[in-house]
Amino acid sequence: MELLTDLDQVALQKPSTFSIGVFDGVHLGHRYLIGELKQSAREAGRLTGVVTFDRHPDELLAPVRNIRYLTTLQEKVALLEELDLDFVVALPFTTKLAQTSARDFVALLVERLFMKQLWIGPDFALGRGRQGNAEYLRILADEFGFSLHRLQPLTRSGAVISSTAIRGLIREGRVREAASLLGRRPCVSGTVARGARRGHKLGFPTANLDIDDRLMIPAAGVYAARVHWESANHGGVVNIGTRPTFDDLKENLLEAHILDFSGDLYGRHLRVEFIERLRPEKRFPSPEALMAQMEKDTVRARRVLEDSDLR
């Protein structure tokens, strides 16, 4: 797969079929769309691809929405690469791009990517002021000589699978349901930072993750998880919260107690996959009461992990 970041510096020599969007999370709905466009493109002998952006347009145009991402740009590109596309264009979403008219942007896609077919969802729009809706794109398709395919979204139990819906589930701690829409477990990655070492003193050493504050993390609580770094893959008990028994921090902290592991992880990059929320965050009357609950959390997490590994 070829990764492109500047349309002005590329010109495909073969006709292409692709879709345009943020593709945050590369969830099952995205995969359905890409699968359909790939089948159409292969039959016509065209290249297949995706045009996406380095950030959600609302981060620039509507910052009040405070977008939280399911994946970093690097993770998104890696997930798209798994889908056997010929190219991905990851454009910087700038003020200049936001002010580009739909017609000018389409003209650039036709010129640089040799666009012959564009696949979109039902509420798609591009260009300044979202002027490039389906109706206007059909006019542009006739003018520029490409076909437009408008695909109905994939649904689950009557609800549309979308990045927004998945963010909502994760925000509520419903990570199992989020996984059913993502097609994989929701995860976050970060670098292990030094903490107060309270977990170590309590007999439950934890890796405190420094996470990009733009990422979507689950609701405060305790989770059964899998923790990955390099070739390692361990079960874990992950706490997200403000440490109410001790600190009452202003922002949530993610701490991972890694099962069956002892060692120094400071500075390492970890990926945490959330499997199930075990309980909400709770203030305990004493460190001893907290330790007793952590023992129970660990026992339950092991059962959840064993069950998930059998599936």
Domain range annotation of the chain:
2-159, 185-310
How many residues comprise the chain? 311
Q: Lowest-confidence range among 37-46, 55-64, 113-122, 201-210? A: 201-210
Distance CA 68, CA 252 (A): 14
Please tell me the predicted confidence (pLDDT) of residue 11.
83
In this structure, of 30-34, 195-199, 210-214, the range with the lowest mean pLDDT score is 195-199
Nearest Cα residue to 109 out of 59, 58, 47: 47
Averaged pLDDT for residues 273-293: 90
Show Cβ contacts of residue 226 under 8 Å, excluding neighbours closer than 6 positions: 185, 233, 234, 235, 236, 272, 273, 275, 305
In tens, the pLDDT along 128-182 reads 999 999 999 999 999 999 999 999 999 988 889 999 999 999 999 999 999 999 9
Helix (H, G, I), strand (E, B) or coil at 63: helix
Fill in the amino acid letter for 240.
I
Look at residue 197 in the predicted model and tell me its pLDDT. Answer: 53
- What is the C-alpha separation between 167 and 185, in angstroms, rounded? 13
pLDDT-derived band at 198 (thresholds 50, 70, 90) equals low
Summarize the confidence of residues 12-21 as an average pLDDT: 95
User: Is pLDDT at 96 greater than 60 in this prediction?
Assistant: yes
With the CA atoms of 42, 52, 71 and 213 taken in that order, what torsion angle do they form, in degrees rounded to the nearest 10? 180
Considering only 85-89, 196-200, 206-210, which range has the smallest mean pLDDT?
196-200
Q: Which two tokens stand for residue 74?
A: 């690097």
Angstrom distance (rounded) from CA 13 to CA 229: 40
- DSSP per residue over 227-290, as a string? EEETTEEEEEEEEEE--TTTT--SS-EEEEEETT--S--TT-EEEEEEEEEEEE----SSHHHH
* Bigger pLDDT: 196 vs 118: 118
Q: Where does the pLDDT of residue 251 fall: very low under 50, low under 70, confident under 90, or very high at 90 and above?
A: confident
The arithmetic mean of pLDDT across residues 189-212, rounded, is 75
Which pLDDT score, from 0 to 100, does residue 232 have? Answer: 87
8 A C-beta contact, residue 11 and residue 81: no
pLDDT of residue 201: 47
In this structure, CATH architecture of domain 2-159: 3-Layer(aba) Sandwich (3.40)
pLDDT > 70: percent of the chain: 94
**With 50 as the cut, is the pLDDT of residue 269 above it?**
yes
- 3-class SS at 57? helix
Over the stretch 52-91, which tens digit does the pLDDT of each residue have? 999 999 999 999 999 999 999 999 999 999 999 999 999 9
CATH node for 185-310? 2.40.30.30
If you average pLDDT over every residue of the chain, what do you get?
91
Whole-number pLDDT of residue 195: 63
Task: Compute the distance between CA of residue 213 and CA of residue 34 in angstroms, rounded to an integer.
Answer: 29
d(CA 86, CA 44): 14
In the beta sheet, which residues pair with residue 16?
A: 47, 115
What is the pLDDT, as a whole number, of residue 101? 97
